[in-house]
A and B are shown apart, each in its own frame.
With several copies, the nearest count.
Chain A
């Protein structure tokens, strides 16, 4: 840590400790001018910011005004007392994962993966599942003790569940990339509901991933785990192995 940082009253650092400087930008649906600037200022101070500097106030046409602002926060937060709910899973090599599963489970773990609903993005899911993996980190298909079914994209939740039942899946991996208008929430909820309805939920480890997914959100939606941007396949592998073993013991 930096010598004179006060962790129980943490503030943003601009060009000196605790100056609390932050940068903002946003657009107001009003024409540019003094009144718009005043509005922007009121809005920013309503967030508890002070020493507000409107460094750009640009009328971008059709009654929109774009602002770039620097301001200082009056608030501070207690860093020392922060608890994060994080996916804790040990770092494990492929052999360790395989060894582990062999030892404690004595059989392959069956995984079904898909991008559900109208979402056509496969690259994210593939980089977790495919041999090739992600940035040199091999995908789950490379693990001897995983049996992976990658259904691809635009899979209706109902089909995904059917497949899961058919192959007696231990794990479902869902990818959701498109989040506009919260469509991912709708689709993920639908999947969870179907699993409940079919009494499969507690038999299956339910995992979601995507660049806009957080573990927190996943928990809220009744999933076991959520993986975000930059996830490495090995993290997922280690998590799956440990959790399934827990479950089955």
Chain B
């Protein structure tokens, strides 16, 4: 490889990261959350809202919680109600929405029959998800997987129908991946909005209906352009597992999914996010949804050179949590970004070094490279030049998922023409420098190699420290992104609970078995 990293150090980095996450995993395994339970409800095809517009998955889970039954897991209550009332889960939820009864008040039905009901419902989910996954992969094989780096663009009009128009244009211009950015801070909503939406700020609400609309539009385009087109949305947040659930049911290909983003950048309670991300990633692992981790966020506010090792540290932690969810490396879209101040002398050498470090540290992953944003300005021409160098470094260092920079990054969410210019530039640069990476090498112990080693060394130091005190304590102490979050503070803390000994989550259970033959790893 280019950096010739000290392989013992690399091994050490992984070991420590594993130990750091092992403890947290023990903590996770004892707990569930409202969102995890709503995920089960959604998998049991509970959808729609009550008369006040509250989503039925929230309605039924909140009801069971209010009546003190949630520690057993929602699956049992739904199944018991289905048997008792000989209703479908949807009918049960609607009835609860109409305040006709609480599942908890219903008489417990014959154990065997209820258990059978649970299995029946859960097996159906698994079958369904497998079918969706297989259809996607069949389509991918038929149409063919575009060459890497994938050209990844964002649509963010706030209106799903407008998004579709722009997404189609982007695909016909050469986009391989379309991400529909979520409306500002949807991650802070403790429910998933319902139905198609046309009003959002800075983005479009993530709803199952919106997923379906965009997926269909992209499939049409894929047929036209004879190229498989991937669809991306955002999971991290208070509904992390639920978003994964609807994504898996609507055939999405990627999800922004970070084990710590919600905690650090959205002040979501850490217990909540840790527990949620596990189920969320199980679903992604099972449905072969590529996760995109959010390391770019670290260097959006702190210095991209001095703090480069925090990116590496987070990448290693994300990798371990993904492994614990039984995810194969090829679905790990390990994040990093081109955020160095363009006024830094030799900034480009730092970028090359950092980009290669990610690439070589995760040879089997599918790294996601993010464009310059914080140092973009109103000078759209300079911005275009910054993006051109970013594109060059991406092809040169062999990145896999390439989120395009927009020349108007500092101004507004992309105009159609901004996206066109970004796509045509990426195509130009990728093609013009296609084999550059294969033809160059770097001076032994030169600037680029030294910098990469330095970053890795600092990352290991940081990990050692985190291991010392434990990940959660480290977060409380403000180790990451200079942001301190307390154990019991933050949004959604009240949505975490300890599983009762009769707790059962049939979907998670089946996924764990399928992915790793049982929970413990």
Direct contact between A and B in the complex (CB less than 8 angstroms)? yes
Task: Give chain A's interface residues, CB within 8 Å of chain B.
Answer: 2-3, 13-17, 21, 23, 25-27, 53-56, 58, 60-62, 64, 66, 68, 70, 118-120, 122-123, 154, 178-181, 183, 211-212, 229
**Contact status A64-B169, CB under 8 Å:** yes
Q: How far is the CB of B208 from chain A (nearest CB, A)?
A: 22
Can you list 9 A-B contacts with CB-CB less than 8 angstroms, sorted by A residue number?
A27-B417, A56-B377, A56-B378, A56-B380, A58-B420, A70-B411, A119-B184, A123-B374, A183-B184
Q: A15-B157, A15-B414, A60-B416 are in contact. Are A229 and B172 (CB under 8 A)?
A: no
A16, A54, A61: which contacts B172 (Cβ < 8 A)?
A61
Report chain B residues within 8 Å CB of A56: 377-380
Report chain A residues within 8 Å CB of B349: none
**Contact status B184-A66, CB under 8 Å:** no
Q: How far is the CB of B414 from chain A (nearest CB, A)?
A: 7
**Contact status A68-B201, CB under 8 Å:** no
**Contact status B169-A55, CB under 8 Å:** no
**Contact status B201-A61, CB under 8 Å:** no
Report chain A residues within 8 Å CB of B165: 2-3, 62
**Contact status B201-A183, CB under 8 Å:** yes
**Contact status B201-A118, CB under 8 Å:** yes
Q: Which of A55, A61, A64 has the most CB of B within 10 A?
A: A61
**Contact status B162-A70, CB under 8 Å:** no
B158, B188, B265, B300: which contacts A181 (Cβ < 8 A)?
B158
- Cα A58 to Cα B173 with chains together (Å): 11
Q: How far is the CB of B445 from chain A (nearest CB, A)?
A: 34
Report chain B residues within 8 Å CB of A211: 410
Q: A16-B162, A118-B185, A120-B185 are in contact. Are A64 and B416 (CB under 8 A)?
A: yes
Report chain B residues within 8 Å CB of A123: 300-301, 374
- Cα A58 to Cα B266 with chains together (Å): 36
**Contact status A118-B380, CB under 8 Å:** no
B201 to A, closest residue via Cβ: A183
Report chain A residues within 8 Å CB of B414: 15
B159 beta carbon closer than 8 Å to chain A: yes
**Contact status A26-B158, CB under 8 Å:** no
Q: A154-B185, A181-B158 are in contact. Are A55 and B420 (CB under 8 A)?
A: no
Interface string of B377-393 (1 = CB under 8 A from A): 11111000000000000
A3, A14, A68: which contacts B415 (Cβ < 8 A)?
A14
Report chain A residues within 8 Å CB of B166: 15
Q: A58-B379, A62-B168, A68-B378 are in contact. Are A15 and B416 (CB under 8 A)?
A: yes
B158, B377, B380, B416: which contacts A13 (Cβ < 8 A)?
B416
Report chain B residues within 8 Å CB of A183: 184, 201-202
